[in-house]
Amino acid sequence: MKRVYAAIALALLIAGSSGFTGARRLHASQATMTFYFWGGTTEYNTNVVATQQVAQKLNVSIRNIDAQGDYEAGLLVRIAAHDGPDLFYAPDWWIPYLASKGILLNLDPYVAKDPAFHRKDYVPQALQGLTYHGHLYGLPRGFSATVLYYNKDIFDQMHVAYPSAHWTLNDMLNAARRLTTKDHWGLMLHDGPGANDKPSFFDFLWSFGADYINSAGTGCTLTSPAARRAFQWVVDLTYKYHVQPVAADITANGGWSGALFTKGKVAMVLGAQRWFYLYAPLLGGSTPAFRWGVQLPPLALDGKHRYAYPGYAGIGVWSGTPRRDLGYQIGKAISQGPGQIAIARVGIDLPAYEPVLHSNAPFISPDKQADTISIAALAYTRIPHYVVNMQRVQSALDNGALSKLWLNKDTVAHATQAACDEINPLLK
């Protein structure tokens, strides 16, 4: 699953913080801890700043480890060498594997004796996604949900009414068809076909009353009639209705949906809100000239149900670290007050910490309605059913039989059957 949770949030969320509630200060020799993360040069530099802030608050020296190449493989190599990092980003989809292998520290005993930690203070889905077999294995860094971005100037130019909370998927499609011209496309999924990733199709499956596996996690269900209808609907956006750009158009315009939107080439983008590479460019120094807004994700075709795909990662503590207590305290500082305020203000994610979520901190958009909608969308998030072998399952979904479908080189019936043939052995 594409990792787009920018580590820049960590730098800003700790800066200026005085809220390390319950953290022990070390008065003996200074401890050294390691933090393992993903990201490029800029993210590395900001993480250095962030961990220096942690050191000042807790009298701890933290060594940053910037993952180069495959993040997951790099972590497992370190764990196998008994040199695992004290703290690391734990993607939600990887929680079952890391927890089942004993790599992640079970945080329940720490939470149980911590008077400053209250589960009710967090967005429920954020904790749910970091829970495995009823035990908490990560602390939320932030949380986001699918929303519909739209370019108000294009809508006004084409005399189309702005998206409303009553829109269904078909209403969105009909508007996209009216908004598509030689100058701009009407719609783009966050990771559309050809955008170096698969479309974020979980919410589409849910909207059509389907899922990718059964409730027991023992069998692939992509061949169900409902799932196949969902996939056909997504493919038709590009290849039947032509409201979404093809791979060559995406590559020519920056390679991802955020670039097309900020260039004014797409009227609407449906995707996880406030992700660094989409929301931040709309607020930063290169702010586009057009006016933009945000609306809730469309309702399902029945006009009753609404689903949003979540975007987030947790802070995990390696079970093998001798500094478990301190690791927990640092993770908690990131997931609570000052840390969450900084996350909100930088525009990467919304806070997962309810007291901050419902404060003024998240309101940073020029259009207050955009932030209000972004917060409201959290209520519709649904956590996918992740399995222990999710990394291999996700690879099958991203790079296996379905990859040809997104490029219109296979039929829905054949691609979904082939995908299930790949996935079923991984569920045993």
Q: Which superfamily does CATH assign the domain made up of 145-309+383-427 to?
A: Periplasmic binding protein-like II (3.40.190.10)
Higher confidence at residue 338 or residue 12? 338
Over 90: is that where the pLDDT of 91 sits? Answer: no
Q: What is the pLDDT of residue 284?
A: 66
Q: What is the mean pLDDT of the chain?
A: 84
CA distance 221 to 211: 6
Over 90: is that where the pLDDT of 112 sits? Answer: yes
Q: Please tell me what DSSP assigns to residue 217.
A: S
Phi, psi angles (nearest 5°) of residue 413: -60, -45
CA distance 42 to 83: 25
Over 70: is that where the pLDDT of 27 sits? Answer: no
Q: What is the pLDDT of residue 50?
A: 53
* Across 318-341, average pLDDT: 87
Higher confidence at residue 184 or residue 32? 184
Q: What pairs with residue 31 in β-bridges?
A: 60
* Across 57-65, average pLDDT: 73
Whether domain 8-143+312-357 has CATH 3.40.190.10: yes
Over 50: is that where the pLDDT of 196 sits? Answer: no
Confidence of residue 22 (pLDDT cuts 50, 70, 90): very low
Predicted confidence (pLDDT) per residue in 330-356, tens digit: 888 888 877 788 777 767 678 999 999
Predicted confidence (pLDDT) per residue in 280-296, tens digit: 667 666 677 889 999 99
CA distance 340 to 350: 8
Q: Where are the CATH 3.40.190.10 domain residues in the chain?
A: 8-143+312-357, 145-309+383-427
Q: Give the CA count within 13 Å in the CB-facing half-sphere of 36.
A: 25
